[in-house]
Structure 1
Amino acid sequence: MIHIDGSRGEGGGQVLRSSLALSLVTGKPFTIENIRAKRKKPGLMRQHLTAVEAAAKVGRCHVDAKVGTMKLTFEPEGIKAGNHVFSVGTAGSATLVFQTVLPALMLAKEPSTLKLQGGTHNPMAPPFDFLDKVFLPLVNRLGPKIEAKLMRYGFYPAGGGEFHVAIEPVKKLGNLTLLERGFMASLSARILLSKIPLHVAQRERGDLVTKTVLRGGNVVVENIDHSPGPGNAVMLLLESEHVTELFTGFGEIGLRAEKVAGKAIEKYRDYVKRDVPVGEFLADQLMLPLGIAAWQGAGTSEFLTVPLSGHSTTHIDILKQFLEIEIQTENLGRGRTLVRIGYTEGG
């Protein structure tokens, strides 16, 4: 039995989600204490409980947990592929629930289809577009075939979004080397509006055109009429030769439109300036599938990224505990970090 202290590192929900995902893949049971101990509301929130319930369903097991639970034991008894529906029931992130069960299902014996309901565009989690345009294309390079389709937007705080995923699994994952961005092929932007006045998007569009290399025709404004609640997001998509990255800004009550666009612009500029292929959030998301690939014997994966976040360093600790693999990080200077997963001396 592996013992996890949920207060380690950044002390948030990722410790739990990563532990669930790795337990499903390896079959190793674990006990976790102090769940989300460093958060204002410690213990399981609704989205974390949904992740636990989803993992239990896929892992053919029962977990005694409810909102507020600070300690639980997870003992998977296999992998149940097939058709699954997981609903957060709030604006909590459905994308994070998906990422909890994805590793096991992309290595299952049978294909799976998922229907996920909840928040799809939440400032505290990767939006659906990040999964679809950035993360899943790289995961597909490792061997599986995963396709995702957004059915309905779910903005914070109303939620109510939905997306579907089809997963064609493989027995083993391959490795990945991502050391160069390559030439920057295109930059485009989307402004999402749900129950928000059009002049907000017009101001955001003006900032994008004047403060980046974007031209007006590369900025699309989408007025969304089927989302349950109000929402606004600015998304900059940079497609390069070897990788695609997404930079977002989310509207909030009292936050000026220029500030929303400015958040996305600042992230984009920082990424371009550092001359690395893998941004902060993508680095964090890649570690788990690449760690599993190394554990399965795929050899070393490596990528060049920005200085690692607290999320990423916590993630590395959990990966080492479950997979017993080597992970090496090296500061190359000028805001660049080399990450080697499954690294062994001389190979």
Structure 2
Amino acid sequence: MPPVAVDGSWGEGGGQILRTSLTLSLLTGRPLFVENIRAGRPKPGLRPQHLAAVRAAVAVSGGRVEGAALGSGGLRFFPGKPGAGQYSFDIGTAGATSLVLQTVVPALALAGGDSTVTVSGGTHVPWAPTFEYLSRHWAAVMAGLGLRVRLRLERAGFYPRGGGCVRADVSGGWRPKPLAASERGAFQRAHGLSLVGRLATSIAARQAGELEKGLRRLGLEDAFGEVAVDVVEPAARSPGTAVYVETEFETGRAAFSALGRRGKPAEQVAREAVNELARFLHTDAAFDYHLADQVLLPLALADGESRFTTSAVSEHLLANAHVISLFLGQVVQTSGDVRTPGQVRVCPTGV
């Protein structure tokens, strides 16, 4: 098969271009030639979490790679056929475990058998889905598209030290399904989580209290006037806090996370997540803007046309649509300006 050439400086020039390219290379069997990796970032080239994603793609497919080194601005990846199995990857830093998993899970799901993937690194870090977002939100939507993955937090890894561990059990034999979510539908439920690792429980209680107040302010009580907020204290190697909030509707859903840090009040952490949710609710969109870019790739493989609305057209959404076009043609159509609500139509080739 002819290789696909990808310019990593396209758009915002971030790591998403590389990860999506790796996944599509695995799925299509086409070699991948990438240059200008993460050219738009202060420290361009491969960082540990991106290098881990590359090595994971090599491992699950028995492929080979040229140029995979820390700081490298280009590489050539020659995929093999993804195979079911048990895999373990260690990022070695607080790099995002969620992003490594999202790189290889779709390919393993299309394999003939079930797989287990364990990734060590950061589970609650900036600029990446937290474990809760991945396990409760992303995995639920993927299940609706036919992809079944069960995630377990073995140990939390908070920024900046990391040290976390996530296990993913991936069911093989995936047949990608389309979706229709132009409207979110009626509200069904909301749920919040306040997490602390190796810190005083009082911090979790303060986060939870502020989170409950915020959800009530948004009118997200259940039929009995209650708001579901739980405190979670996962095992962790280093201290850290996080907040997660999710809402479900008839056909839509949204979720947001916020991270604590030294000197940041617990109440502020909760308010950040609630404010993100409030901005989503002020639109009519079915999906939050993070989820919008994460469903594009599986929908591009589905056996039918999909349509959905997003609370904002993001740079990540446009980058994923661009990379998909390089491998599969112009199957994604978006409308709306960046940072404003938009509509997405995905019409896979041959449908």
Q: Which amino acid aligns with 1:223?
A: E
- Residues of 1 paired with 2:341 and 2:295: CA distance? 17
44-53 vs 59-68, greater mean Cα deviation: 59-68
8 Å CA contact retained: 1:292, 1:323? no
Correspondence for 1:2:
4
- Corresponding position: 1:322 with 2:327: yes
Instruction: Give the counterpart of 1:50 among 49, 52, 55.
Output: 52
CA contact 2:253–2:288 (8 Å) conserved in 1: no
- Rounded to whole Å, the distance in 2 between the matches of 1:335 and 1:61 is 40
Does the alignment pair 1:300 with 2:305?
yes
Measured in 2, the distance between the counterparts of 1:193 and 1:310 equals 31
The alignment status of 1:142 with 2:145, answered yes or no, reads yes
How many Å separate the matches in 2 of 1:223 and 1:170? 35
What CA RMSD, in Å, does the superposition of the two structures yield over aligned residues? 2.1
Equivalent residue of 1:210, what SS? helix
Q: Deviation at 1:195?
A: 2.4
Distance 1:159 1:216 in 2: 35
**Structure 1 position 33, deviation (Å):** 0.7
Q: Which amino acid aligns with 1:153?
A: A
Q: 1:43 to 1:133 in 2, by over 3 A?
A: same
- Tell me the equivalent position of 1:276: 285
| Identity fraction in percent | 38
Q: Which amino acid aligns with 1:197?
A: A
Distance 1:126 1:56 in 2: 23
How far off its partner does 1:318 sit?
0.3
Alignment pair present for 1:340 and 2:345: yes
Tell me if the contact between 1:134 and 1:243 (Cα under 8 Å) persists in the aligned partners: no
Contact map agreement 2:113 2:173 (CA 8 A) in 1 = no
Q: In 2 relative to 1, CA 61–209 (structure 1 residues): closer, same or farther, beyond 3 Å?
A: closer
1:31 corresponds, among 16, 33, 39, to 33
Task: Give the structure 2 partner of residue 13 of structure 1.
Answer: 15
Listed one character per residue, the Cα deviations across residues 293-317 of structure 1 (whole Å, up to 9, x for unaligned) are 2xxxx12111111221111111110
Measure how far apart 1:217 and its partner are: 6.2
SS at 2:65 equivalent: coil
- Distance in 2, Cα, partners of 1:143 & 1:260: 34
Give the gaps of 5 or more residues in structure 2.
none
1:222 partnered with 2:232? yes
Unaligned runs of 5+ in 1: none
Q: How far apart are 1:262 and its partner, in Å?
A: 1.4
Judged with a 3 Å threshold, the aligned counterparts in structure 2 of structure 1 residues 101 and 197 are, in CA distance, closer, same or farther, namely: same
d(CA) in 2 for partners of 1:78 and 1:217? Answer: 47
Q: CA deviation at 1:237?
A: 2.0
1:208 aligns with 2:211: yes
In 2, Cα distance between equivalents of 1:240 and 1:155: 30
8 Å Cα contact 2:313-2:340 kept in structure 1 = no
Aligned partner of 2:90 in structure 1 is: 87
Runs ≥4 residues deviating over 6 A = none
SS in 2 for 1:212: helix
Preserved CA contact (<8 Å) 1:207 1:261: yes
3-state SS of 1:17 partner: helix
User: Alpha-carbon deviations, 1:145-175, whole Å to 9, x = none?
Assistant: 2222222111111211112112222253121
Q: For residues 110 and 325 of structure 1, what CA distance do their matches in structure 2 show?
A: 31
Number of residue pairs matched?
Answer: 340
| Alignment partner, residue 267 of structure 1 | 276
